[in-house]
Amino acid sequence: MSLKFHVFQKSGRARLGKLELKRGSIDTPNFMPVGSKGAVKGLNTPLLREAGAQIILANTLHLYLRPGSQRIEKLGGLHKFMGWEGPILTDSGGFQAFSLAPLKKITEEGIKFSSPIDGAKVNLTPELAIQIQEELGVDIAMVLDQLVAGDAPEKDHKHAVERTTRWAERCLNSQKRKGMNQFAIVQGGIFEELRALSASQLKALDFPGYAAGGFCVGENKKAFRKIASYTADLLPHEKPRYLMGVGKPLDLVEAVSWGYDLFDCVLPTRNARNGQLFTSKGKITIKRAEFMEDETPLDPECPCHTCRSVPKAYLNHLFRVNDPTYVLMATIHNITFYLDLMKKLRSAVAEGTLEDIYNKMKEFYPD
């Protein structure tokens, strides 16, 4: 294990800390831009660094299917392959396999499915998931877990919790490369007893870090808030806590207040491509006619290059003519907005003013 984690200060349940890895330190709480296939869509690595990214997320299954983890290993590993010197966390592929629906079959051995690329048969076992992440050379590797729909019956979630624990132990036992840190994933759906059971079993295995998974897969918002908040307190205080796949700006503020340290979500990049831009005054749909002659910057409070250099009218024009420059400029902005929000949240934890940010986000980003 090459991970060190320190909590310097708390404000309520919120934590201000630092996660130290071989390739760099991460100030927490922090957001990981998603580059599932080895690239954050629309941005290169210098632009990511300029936006303030300290760690990025890639996906085990996507990179295994194409271009292949062994090929990336021959080319010097994922960091060299994509020109990113900082830490990388890789999801195990469990969520992607879950989303394949009729193409998959889950057994005790692993997840069997047909590749959506060429139809090749794949059996993603816990051992293979760790082998792939070792070949990629990442800093934080997620264990393979079994994910079920949020509205599935309790018995299905209980079965998934028990299998996730068995798979997590197999992941730990299969690791060969030193310096890679595995994070376990707590499952259990919207059931408190199952969440407590999952956390208890996984804590007994003593992983370097822990994640709360199985959210945003069909449960309602009220249940998400209740169970995600409850799960945070089940995770070890002295280790990093990662809330997977979350979320919207208000979700992030709330999750920080619950005591989570790391987050990821595709919303900043996906919404940028679709014309939805996050600002300090709420979300803007840039393609609307009202912006065709708008001379003002996208967000005067944002430090990104887009907001410093062009007006909304220009972004509106680029989107309407389908110029790829739009994706670049929009993505720079949305990623910067998210990372700048995390900076503000860290300051708020230090100063005890987290409620102020919550009230502002609640005003401009209501559910």
The pLDDT assigned to 103 comes to: 65
Angle at 92 between CA 18 and CA 20, to 5 degrees: 15
Contacts of 207 (CB under 8 A, 6+ apart): 143, 168, 172, 182, 183, 184, 239
Active site residue 299: no
246/310 same-domain check: no
The residue among 337, 342, 320 whose CA lies nearest residue 282 is 337
pTM: 0.97
Contact call for residues 24 and 33 (beta carbons, < 8 A): no
Task: Give the three-state DSSP class for 324.
Answer: helix
The DSSP symbol for 144 reads P
Catalytic pick from 145, 251, 264, 299? 264
**How far is the C-alpha of 24 from the C-alpha of 2, rounded, in Å?**
11
**How far is the C-alpha of 52 from the C-alpha of 338, rounded, in Å?**
10
Domain end call among 211, 244, 265: 265
Domain end call among 207, 241, 265: 265
80/140 same-domain check: yes
The pLDDT assigned to 102 comes to: 65
The residue among 232, 224, 227, 226 whose CA lies nearest residue 248 is 224
Contact call for residues 28 and 262 (beta carbons, < 8 A): yes
Active site residue 264: yes
334/208 same-domain check: no
307/188 same-domain check: no
The pLDDT assigned to 36 comes to: 94
Angle at 308 between CA 304 and CA 312, to 5 degrees: 100
Distance set, CA 9 to CA 30, 35, 180, 261, 335 (Å): 15, 31, 27, 12, 26
174/242 same-domain check: yes
For residue 240, the one-letter residue type is P
79/195 same-domain check: yes
97/240 same-domain check: yes
244/179 same-domain check: yes
CA 347 to chain CA centroid, Å, is: 21
- With tokens 């139809």, the residue in question is 119
For the record, the structure tokens of 75 come out as 């080319």
152/45 same-domain check: yes
The pLDDT assigned to 257 comes to: 98
46/71 same-domain check: yes
Catalytic pick from 91, 251, 299, 340? 91
51/182 same-domain check: yes
Contacts of 94 (CB under 8 A, 6+ apart): 111, 142, 144, 145, 146, 147, 185, 213
* CATH number of 81's domain: 3.20.20.105
**How far is the C-alpha of 136 from the C-alpha of 78, rounded, in Å?**
5
253/277 same-domain check: no
Contact call for residues 247 and 270 (beta carbons, < 8 A): no
**How far is the C-alpha of 305 from the C-alpha of 17, rounded, in Å?**
28
Domain count, the chain: 2
**How far is the C-alpha of 7 from the C-alpha of 14, rounded, in Å?**
10
Is-cis flag, bond preceding 126, omega within 30?
Answer: no
**How far is the C-alpha of 229 from the C-alpha of 183, rounded, in Å?**
19
Domain end call among 265, 292, 312: 265
In order along its 367 residues, the chain shows pLDDT tens digits of 589 999 999 999 999 999 999 999 999 999 999 999 999 999 999 999 999 999 999 999 999 999 999 999 999 999 999 999 999 999 998 887 777 766 678 999 999 988 888 988 999 999 999 999 999 999 999 999 999 888 899 999 999 999 999 999 999 999 999 999 999 999 999 999 999 999 999 999 999 999 999 998 878 999 999 999 999 999 999 999 999 999 899 999 999 999 999 999 999 999 999 999 999 999 999 999 999 999 999 999 999 999 999 999 999 999 999 999 999 999 999 999 999 999 999 999 999 999 999 999 999 998 7
What is the domain extent for residue 338? 272-364
